[in-house]
Amino acid sequence: MTTKQAAMATIAVRQQVFLERVKSHEATKFDAFLREMDQVIRDALSGDELTDFQRGRLEALLADVDANIAAIQDRYWQRLKTDVIDIAEYQAGFEAATLTKAVDTAEKVFESAVPSPAQIKTAVLTNPLSVRGPDGGKLLESFVTDWSSAQRKAFTGTIRRSYFEGQTNAQMVRAIRGTRALKYSNGLLSSTKRGADAMVRTAVQHAASQARSETWKANSDLSTEYEFIATLDSRTTVQCRSLDRRVFKIGKGPVPPLHVGCRSTTILKLPPEFDFLNKGATRASVNGPVPQDLSYYQWLKEQPEEFIREVLGRDRTKLFLDGGLSAERFAALQLDRTFQPLTLVQMKALEPLAFLKAGL
C-alpha cells in the first residue's frame, strides 16, 4: 500500500485529531475575556455593601454589569467569528487538496475545485448547526449569543439572589470566583469557562463541517455521498456511534456537530472504482489501530464486557451481547428517523424477540 493510499484511508480521523488541537487553542483565547468579566464584577462589588442598597439601585447596578459583560462578549464573538471562518477556509483547501491527491493516485487527471471564501463564510454563518436538543437548528451567531446571554443572566442572578439572602459583597465575590482552597474551581466563573470550552469546540466543528460540505458540493462530479465517522472510544455519544460508517447524500444527512462538544467527522464516499485506496487501511481507536471498515459497534463487540457496560449501560449491554442482533441492527435500533436516541421501551417494540432472548 502506498503512502497516498494509506493517507486517503485515514485522513479524516487524522484531520479530526488536528482539529481537536485547534479547538483547544481557540478555547484558551476565551481566558482573557473571562478575566475582563471577572474584573467588571469585582469592580461592581468593591464599593458599598449591596445589602444597604434600595431595590432600584441594585437593579441599576445589575443592568450596568450586564451591559459591560455584554460588550466584552460581543468583542469575543467578533474574534471567534473571524477565527472560525479562517479555520473553515483552511479546511476547505485541505479537503480539496486531499481529493486531488486521492484521485490522482488512481491515474485520473483531476483538479478539485475550492469554494470561494464568500461561499464558505455564507455556509458557516447561515447554515444551521446540526446539534440536536435545545440548540438544534440555531445559526452559529444565535448559538453563541444565546449562550452568552445565559451566562450574563447567571452572573446577575447570582448577585441578585445573594442580595436577597443578605450576603456580603465578599460572599458574592466568592460565589462567582470560587475559593482559593479549591483553586477557584467551585465558582460561577469556572463553570463559565467550561461552558465556553464546549461552545467554542462546537463552533469550530460546525465551521469545519460546513467547509467540508461546500468543498464536496463544488466537486459533485466526483461523488454525491459522504460517510459519517465517529471516534472509537467510550466517550462517544449514542448518536455518533450509531451513525458511524453510515452513508448519506451530500446535503441530505446529519453532519457534526450532532451535540455540544461533538468529535465526529465525515469523509467523502468515493465511487467503487476507488475502493482499492482503502485496502488494508486502518482507523484509530482508543486501544490502537483497527481495520478501516470496522464500524463502532463492530469494534465494540471486540471489547471487554466491562468496557461495553461502561459505554452502553447494563440492559443495553445484555441486549447487545445476548440478543442475537448484528452490530448493524443494534446501531439501527438506537435512533429514530430524526436521529434522536430511542428508549429501551421503544427499542423493545421494534425487536421484542431480541429482548426475550436477552432475558430483558
pLDDT at 277: 66
Which own/partner contact pairs does 336-341 have at CB distance under 8 Å and 24+ positions apart? 338/132, 339/132, 339/239, 339/243, 339/254, 339/258, 340/132, 340/239, 341/238, 341/239
pLDDT classification of 108: cutoffs 50, 70, 90: low
User: Residue 211: what residue type?
Assistant: A
The percentage of the chain sitting over the pLDDT mark of 70, rounded to a whole number, equals 94
Q: Contact at 8 Å (CB) between 351 and 324? A: no
Across 12-21, 121-130, 182-191, 214-223, the highest mean pLDDT is recorded for 121-130
Q: How far is CA 42 from the centre of its chain?
A: 33
**C-alpha cell recorded at residue 332:** 439501527
Domain ranges across the chain? 3-273, 304-357
Residue 344 has pLDDT above 90, yes or no: yes
Which stretch of 17-26, 94-103, 171-180, 324-333 has the lowest confidence by average pLDDT?
94-103
Average pLDDT, the chain: 90
pLDDT classification of 105: cutoffs 50, 70, 90: low
Residue 284 has pLDDT above 80, yes or no: no
